[in-house]
Amino acid sequence: MKLWQGRTDGRVDELVNTLTTSLPFDVRLFREDIEGSIAHARMLGFTEIIRPEESSEIIAGLECILAQMENGSFEFEQDDEDIHTAVERALIAAIGEAGKKLHTGRSRNDQVALDMRLWCLRRIAAIQDSIKKLQTVLVDLSGQHVTTIMPGYTHLQHAQPVTLGHHLMAYFWMLQRDWTRLADCRFRTDVMPLGVGALAGTAYPLDREFVKRELGFFRISENSLDTVADRDFVIELVSACTLIMTHLSRLCEELVLWSTWEFRFVELEDEYTTGSSMMPQKKNPDAAELIRGKTGRVTGDLMSLLMTMKALPLAYNRDMQEDKERLFDASDTVLASLGVMSSMLATAHFRGERMARAASAGYTLATDVADFLVGKGMPFRDAHHLVGQIVRDCAAQGIELEELTVEEWSGYSPLLDSAITGVLNADHAVARRCVPGGPAPEEVMDQIACARAILSARPCFLVSKGISSMIASRVTWPRP
């Protein structure tokens, strides 16, 4: 007998049955489903809605089923349309009439909402942990390359010299925002939904606070209609996953470019590359390309969820069954991508000499020449115009700024005296940019110190030339 059988005779067209069955994917919720059922059964006994001995019998039966599912000995049946059906069917088979009382005061609507919230809370923690591991790799690499000069780009054109450490730290801060977004998502997910029934609560004297404490939730939901109809927390988590993948994709794009023969800034270990079936010289950055490609997949998961929810009237609708596959796919992809990125970066070989040579080409020191003129009293706009003319002349001759003689410099302006040769140095240019958040080595070291404080998850004060702030990081939200 199906859980919902009564108003209908339970017969379902075979194609409809295939369409509606969710067990192949929601079986992943077995642990959350059973834990929620144990808490519900314990509350039913505590409030004496059912006899305490029945509650104990139900809990023992559920614990046995959980053990079977964990060790792989649980046997599913063809008529188990979802994980909730499978658990309750097995419980009744194991303990008899008492098992039929488990669902007292509960609907599959609030039950699945509970399962999803518990699962999301655990998945958020797992993703945050993976982000932290990747951030640690980035910080360690940045510390090794605080003085490794490389070209900075805008529009993928040479702009100004920076350091590899500074460049990598940019991704640390992107991931830090991702981590805090997940913390925000956790706060809104940490709501106990059980006890609101199908949509209108229940006449049984349920103790929702009891269940909240049993399961470790921060608070209970406020409105029964909203509780069973809400999938904002799923959309928010998948949205955070999409942004994480977007950030990883940008880094992957750079690794792909940097590993080309034209750049040769980095070489990835063989474990993260493949060869060509035809061209024996090829070493393709497949891992980076696949992460970049899977970003579109996770973005598609988000769009699918938004389209599913956009026109649903209150309260629960079966359309919402579509949330699970999208959630599972997005979060699985993010976890796999973060793991691969961490190990791929940790073993990558960056070619500092190649980067430094590139940083001195393409007129990247033009702004420093303009700044030199400003220091001599020339308005910046005039200096900008003059240096642009100098670059244009050099480009026509096919030479770099460093190849101009002192006489050629002074021919453009008497302010461009012999001291200009000291400006035409990438290390000097980077060192001069010592504003907070800049690429100067001491400022990058400040960033790294700040990042390490965040990763240590301990409140501390950092007061330095570059950064003066309080760093406080909480792994979990406070419980009452």
Q: Annotated catalytic sites, by residue?
A: 155, 276
Contact 181, 193 (CB under 8 A): no
Contact 477, 453 (CB under 8 A): no
459 vs 142, 183, 465, CA distance in Å?
23, 17, 20
**E strand or H helix that includes residue 36:** helix 30-46
Contact 264, 354 (CB under 8 A): yes
Would you state the structure tokens that stand for residue 106, as one six-digit string?
A: 């509960």
CA angle 217, 221, 222 (to 5 degrees): 145
344's CB contacts (< 8 A; 6+ apart) are 255, 268, 269, 272, 287, 288
Q: Is 284 left (phi over 0), alpha (psi -120 to 50) or beta?
A: beta
401 vs 405: CA distance, rounded Å: 9
269 vs 142, 243, 288, 348, CA distance in Å?
19, 27, 12, 6
- Residue-level length of the chain: 480
